[in-house]
Chain A
Amino acid sequence: MLCATSRLLAAPAGTTPPAQPRARGPALRCRRRELHFPSYPALPSCDFLAGRLGRPSLPPGRRVILRRARMTPAMDGGPPGSELRARRGRCGTQPARAVVAKDAAQSPKRPAQGSRRLEAAGGWAVLALVTLLSFATRFHRLDEPPHICWDETHFGKMGSYYINGTFFFDVHPPLGKMLIGLAGYLSGYDGTFLFQKPGDKYEHHSYMGMRGFCAFLGSWLVPFAYLTVLELSKSLPAALLTAALLTFDTGCLTLSQYILLDPILLFFIMAAVLSMVKYHACADRPFSTRWWCWLTLTGISLAGALGVKFVGLFVILQVGLNTISDLWCLFGDLNLSLVTLAKHLIARIVCLIALPLALYTATFAVHFMVLTQSGPGDGFFSSAFQARLSGNNLHNASVPEHLAYGSVITVKNLRMASGYLHSHRHLYPEGIGARQQQVTTYLHKDYNNLWIVKKHNTNSDPLDPSFPVEFVRHGDLIRLEHKETARNLHSHYHEAPLTRKHYQVTGYGINGTGDSNDFWRIEVVNRKFGNRIKVLRSQIRLIHLVTGCVLGSSGKVLPKWGWEQLEVTCTPYLKETLNSVWNVEDHFNPKLPNISLDVLKPSFPEILLESHMVMLRGNNGLKPKDNDFTSKPWHWPINYQGLRFSGINDTDFRVYLLGNPVVWWLNLVSIAIYLLLGSILVLAVQRGVCLPAEVQGLSQVLLQGGGQVLLGWALHYFPFFLMGRILYFHHYFPAVLFSSMLTGILWDTLLRLCAWRLASCCSSSLARSIHIGGILSLLLGTAYSFYLFHPLAYGMVGPLAQNPLSPMAGLRWLESWDF
């Protein structure tokens, strides 16, 4: 009877292909069975191609529960008095989920109206409590230690740069550091502290504003996670468990308490996930204000996450995948016209692509507007870029625009941080090519970087006023004479000092007289015909006439004899790489009129592109050395090793970034259990097994809510295995958020399953106490482990953990932890 009813109910709710024929067999079988089994689930409306994200349209199992609850409350698997929330999903109805609200649980028979109001109030109260606890833990002893910890030395310094307007270079996008700078500025920090190295005392400098700001953002993680899980699972215990795991995780706590980018990043990631989940929840009322609100917030948070670190790309990927599956479901809904679909599509494009991009670009615009002073980041950027920065010698400089014979120039390699073509009065040592004068690239400005452009075949002084000015053109043969030593740039068939397959480049000749190996053809990249060569803007290559090789910088550091400058070679491989492209930076020629460099300033899109290229290369350049101890991604989930934030010896104030092992190992176990349980459930569904309604609802939560956060975890964890750059322990923290949410959902579901199982054989009160007891013991266990491990985060002084007198004695569970 029930089967039939639910099928009837299901029919109009189903959106796409009516249940396929093969569903009928089991359904028939089902009907013959006992009434405990309400229905074979109608096939998911989002078919399999939609992937796991598609929300299968279930026949409204909750209605079944509702009916059963009314008919046989005693036999009900769900806890009595469960409050049912009616909510329609997009692709049919969401599985309803019994919510155990504390108040409601005590008075099962109360009218729905009152209990709902009470529940809402209770919900707010719990949320407030969670938030309060989170803030309390994060702000507790925030001012300790009053010295620089770990990467505060970088990010604090960069905050100061914003206050001072000094240009710098970092591999991360600017938003996070800008916010830190802003927080410092608002809290009265004047940007004068040097942030030289970890351990330096802050003394009178006000650092609490910056730390407080980070802690403030970090504190929001807990309520955000709480709300996300509540929305995904509709279960208060699950949400509470998640909140507890994150509140009591020493790792998240430590990471939130210092001037770092991570709390800001985590805040935006979590905000993006929360608003995405929220906007999915109001999918039944598309284009309502709430819907727009959450959608826009998702976009803003995405922009924020990406603006802090490129790790934000992973959460963008997650939202993107969700949006695609979401659109796919809508697309399959034949009730929606194509116009409505187009509206949906455009709304998402605007809010999730256009808006974040605009915001992201805006942060860069602000970045470039604020940082106008020349600073430590100049050298990383092209000459044209540097012309923007006041204090740089290219700023407001005026030079002749086109290169002419007789000009004195500096030549800069286009590869990032490669420097100027340089030579000095030192010879290559014995045994390394020919014993001629060294030619290198050098990062700093120096008289030895100056070269004179001369015609290849005459040695007459082109600056002689009787000669007319002759411009250098694309394809000309030239000779470059080193101004200080009067030797010519020279190459020959000797192997280069470090890159053995390339030819050596030397300075040769006396007073500008050398041989035919001094002749170079100057070419402008991507130019076909003979044109003049522009200062700063033209990208030139110098091709050696005799051997046909290209002048390049290999980027390798020469040994002591070369003053640790970078090697210059002549590469026989004509592939176009930035190593072999140069531009003219300084340019002196008395015969030519100077023009202001302002006309050469790059436009904003060019700056944006360049800074991204530089960041990308900077990121790729962070390579671990062979002998270094590097953190490997597989270390992270097992909490193998922490990071020392402050202090080494037993007299120091020590802070050690390490996840609360109880929380982390629980998370790890949960992922394994989840995968096991999930695959069993999926297999059962695929086999067409009839699940009892209660299990059905739970499995929906597990597969969809759990799947969502599992996806988040995987997206924030596995890409690190592919990364070539150096990795650190704290890269795992975005994934920790997701895995904690998974733990919350999983254990709540597991306990409910147990309770349901017990309720069907024993008493329901026992079942309920099992559920509550389980959750409570998990909560208390986490809290106790936090009590044990809290010195890691709040700092400890005294003997190291090996010493039995230490507060951490006996807590060094892994030998690899050093605190």
Chain B
Amino acid sequence: MATGQGALLSLLSYKMSGFLKQPLVVRADINLNVLALAGLGLLSRLWRLTYPRAVVFDEVYYGQYISFYMKRVFFLDGSGPPLGHMLLALGGYLGGFDGNFLWNRIGAEYSSNVPVWSLRLLPALAGAFSVPMAYQIVLELRFSHCAAMGAGLLMLIENALITQSRLILLEAVLIFFSLLSVLSYLKFSNLQHSPFSLSWWFWLVLTGVACSCTVGIKYMGVFTYLLVLSVAAAHAWHLVGDQTLSNVGAESRWHPGGGGAKRAECVALSGWGRQCFSVLWQVCVCCHLLARAVALLVIPALMYLLFFYVHLSILFRSGPHDQVMSSAFQASLEGGLARITRGQPLEVAYGSQVTLKSAFGKPVPCWLHSHQSTYPVIYENGRGSSHQQQVTCYPFKDVNNWWIVKDPGRHQLVVSNPPRPVRHGDTVQLVHGMTARLLNTHDVAAPLSPHAQEISCYVDHNISMPAQNLWRLEIVNRDSDRDVWKTIMSEVRFVHVNTSAILKLSGAHLPDWGFRQLEVVGEKLSRGFHESMVWNVEEHRYGKSQEQRERELELHSPIQTDVSRNLSFMARFSELQWRMLTLRTDDSEHKYSSTPLEWVTLDTNIAYWLHPKSSAQIHLLGNVVIWASASLATGTYALLFLWYLLRRRRNACDLPEDDWLRWVLAGSLCCGGWAVNYLPFFLMEKTLFLYHYLPALTFQIILLPVVLQHVGDHLCRSQLQRSVFGALVVAWYSSACHVFSTLRPLTYGDTSLSPSELRALRWKDSWDILIRKY
């Protein structure tokens, strides 16, 4: 092992000296193709960017989040991690947007304070730079400049991509980062001959960063990340098996000399030499693997945390979505609950006055509540009740939400001095503040959940129904059995001492006699842990008044407070992340929603915007020729790949090894990219739109010239065939251009078309082109 380290050290020092010997030289290769593509991309995406100066389609959705960022108000959006929203908001920040715009209606005119140009700039730039990136990717896949140019030009004239990148939407940014992660990985893997060089590191780290950005914009990006990871894993696996690695990597520099002779030399080495060689080899492989693991696993994870860190530190004010979060989280926001709870005593003691919030938060966040009304003697369905005072869960703050924690052994309802804190496992009674009745449960079926016990505030009707009002306190998130019950922090369960029923929010709404508040029951058959059994103290103060009248006054008076409590970042992150993932939006239908099958054939479109007066309109509508040929190319690729694979298995190699590897890599990235960005949608239950297909389409477009070049190179045998094929390709591309220019008015929405022109553009019955009736 020591020899291995020595070898490594000498290798390092050799590298260091290399840097010192050479002068610092900057060379710039300018690829005019890239420049031209970038220029055209910018032109197509940025041209009249501020038109229309009105809210277009989903801008109404992203816009509200931009406003939240501008006002630093906390919000919760389950659609994706915050990076995408933050990038959009960055545009607003740079344009000096103050967030004062009501995003409520598609088509609403922007007021003058909305910097439309800078808001739309970022997606447009991302869309524009995707064009030269497609070129670069094909080039890095080691296909010809011609094919690469083809990919760029196809990206350039794809109407759907143009539309999507000219608005305040996230798909263009998502596509940009997916392409960036693929491109940088390719750059990195093409640098295998010079490992650990500066550019090697650069591209490797960039891969990780781009991947994390992809994930950070939409959760769909995870699949692209996994694709890059698995390609990297496959490469690393070959690396592990590659026994010439140290020759290429370290040996050739270590012993300057011909790499080819190394093997013989190595074999001829004496035993010691071989051992040293072998150790060095292992170390080298380990370094390779470690570098990849750090760049592709650790960096993305850290970046992901960073996005949330920035997100949470920008949004420090409380806002409309607070209610969904836990009390502790709310207390960490400025305003809102924090203003109320500041300075509360931390430890709940006997005599404390508390409000108890259900930690479940479904269907609505609510507090344990009771009021004067009793359960009806007989329910509608004929069952009877205890006719005692109702206990419910109430979604609004109310003086009836206050409860007093009482020691069963004592009578007073005030906190002694010093306060005696309540601990895990202690038995308590809960006294309802306004009515001074005790929380009780007994063997009577609950009003709506007959399998569970009724919870009531005990009223003695003198009918042999004894009070059973002892509850054992269990702190769920405790560290030890002697933990103290803490305000906000502690999540507690109340276990009934007599029946071991657990106080639980059933989630059902009581009928009119219960004022439509939520039902609370004693769950007897506790099958494990459930959040609906967990409660936490939200507001808390030490009770001082022994007399009921005084206590009522005290309950009505606002609480004074002076300390603020903060959650750690990780706690806030994990809560936010969990809420985002479990946030379920009801499956709302949408006029323009579609199914994944309709995307491939472009059987659907989305009307984004209609000019208030003229018939100018913007549609998300793809270039039909490109969509059809891209799908065709994917199919062709799959068939050819299968054919070659079978033939190779029978030892008939149609392609030279190099070409084959290139062909496989191109397929696994492009076909794979299409598959991972498309197929998961079949399993999703949310409302889907055509624009969800755009990332997958981008990968297909990149595959298209690759397949064309392959057909031209390998399947056209004679020169004549090749020229015919070339001519066909040119004809096909010009038809794509023609389609682009025909659909252009619907992409930019700058020309008003007559109804007959519009009707002429409705190439498919399923396309919904808006034609005004005059």
Contacts and interface: CB of A to CB of B under 8 A. Distances in A.
Given A334-B651, A687-B241, A724-B685, A626 B363 contact: yes
Contact of A331 (B263, B274, B528, B650): B650
Contacts of A818: 525-527
B528 A629 contact: yes
Interface string A721-732: 010100000000
A139 interface: no
Contacts of A339: none
A560 B506 CA distance: 19
Contact of A49 (B244, B363, B645): B645
A563 interface: no
A158 B362 CA distance: 37
B507 A627 contact: yes
A686 interface: yes
A26 B243 CA distance: 9
Nearest to B282: A687
Contact of A25 (B267, B363, B525, B530): B267
Given A501-B589, A627-B506, A816-B528, A683 B240 contact: yes
Interface string A671-705: 00000000000010011100000000000000000
B568 interface: no
A640 B529 CA distance: 11
Contacts of A117: none
A287 interface: no
Nearest to A49: B645
Nearest to B768: A574
Nearest to B525: A648
A330 to B, nearest CB: 10
Contacts of B28: none
Interface string B208-233: 00000000000000000000000000
Contacts of B525: 648, 818
A28 interface: yes
Contacts of B461: none
A334 B649 CA distance: 9
B591 interface: yes
Contacts of B14: none
Contacts of A575: 589, 593
Nearest to B380: A560
Contacts of A16: 651
Contacts of B589: 501, 571, 573, 575
A250 B530 CA distance: 27
Nearest to B281: A687
Interface string B506-535: 110001000000000000011111101000
Nearest to B263: A25
A328 interface: yes
Nearest to A499: B589
A687 B530 CA distance: 48
A648 B451 CA distance: 13
Nearest to A625: B507
Contacts of A722: 683
Contacts of A332: 649-650
A22 B244 contact: yes
* Most chain A beta-carbon neighbours within 10 Å: one of B243, B267, B528, B532: B528
A572 interface: yes
A648 B527 CA distance: 12
Interface residues of A, number: 32
A629 B649 contact: no
A571 B593 CA distance: 14
Contacts of B732: none
A648 B500 CA distance: 14
Interface in A295-340: 328, 331-332, 334
A640 B528 CA distance: 9
Nearest to B584: A626
A687 B241 CA distance: 5
Given A573-B591, A640-B528, A22 B646 contact: no
Nearest to A722: B683
A204 interface: no
B352 to A, nearest CB: 28
Interface in A539-590: 560, 571-573, 575
B237 interface: yes
Interface in B271-291: 274, 285
Contacts of B362: 626-627
A331 B649 contact: yes
B379 to A, nearest CB: 12
Interface in A144-183: none
Contacts of B650: 331-332, 334
Interface in B255-279: 263, 267, 274
Interface in B379-419: none
A641 interface: yes
Contact of B530 (A29, A629, A686): A629
A423 B649 CA distance: 68
Nearest to A341: B650
Contacts of B530: 627, 629
Contacts of B507: 626-627
A641 B507 CA distance: 24
B719 interface: no
B73 to A, nearest CB: 27
B588 interface: yes
Contacts of B683: 722
A292 to B, nearest CB: 26
Interface in B515-565: 525-530, 532
Contacts of B590: 573
A385 to B, nearest CB: 27
A686 B241 contact: yes
Nearest to A329: B649
A29 B274 contact: yes
Contacts of B645: 49
A331 B646 CA distance: 8
A474 to B, nearest CB: 17
Contacts of A724: 685
B364 to A, nearest CB: 12
Contacts of A334: 650-651
A267 B340 CA distance: 63
Contacts of A572: 591
B17 to A, nearest CB: 31
A16 B589 CA distance: 56
Nearest to A626: B362
A626 B532 CA distance: 10
Contacts of B649: 328, 331-332
Contacts of A683: 240
B177 to A, nearest CB: 26
A491 B528 CA distance: 48
B16 to A, nearest CB: 30
Given A626-B363, A722-B683, A501 B588 contact: yes
Contacts of B274: 29
A332 B646 CA distance: 9
B380 to A, nearest CB: 8
Contacts of B285: 687
A49 B661 CA distance: 13
A241 B539 CA distance: 59
A17 B267 CA distance: 25
Contact of B527 (A501, A571, A573, A629): A629
Contact of A29 (B267, B511, B591): B267
18 contacts: A25-B263, A26-B243, A29-B267, A29-B274, A331-B646, A331-B649, A332-B649, A332-B650, A501-B588, A573-B589, A573-B590, A575-B589, A575-B593, A627-B507, A627-B530, A629-B528, A648-B525, A818-B527
Given A687-B243, A688-B241, A722-B683, 16 more contacts: A328-B649, A331-B646, A331-B650, A332-B649, A334-B651, A571-B589, A575-B589, A627-B505, A627-B530, A640-B528, A641-B528, A686-B237, A686-B241, A687-B285, A724-B685, A816-B527
Ranked nearest first, the 10 interchain pairs of A and B with the lowest CB-CB distance are A627-B507, A629-B527, A686-B241, A816-B528, A332-B649, A686-B240, A573-B589, A331-B649, A626-B362, A641-B528
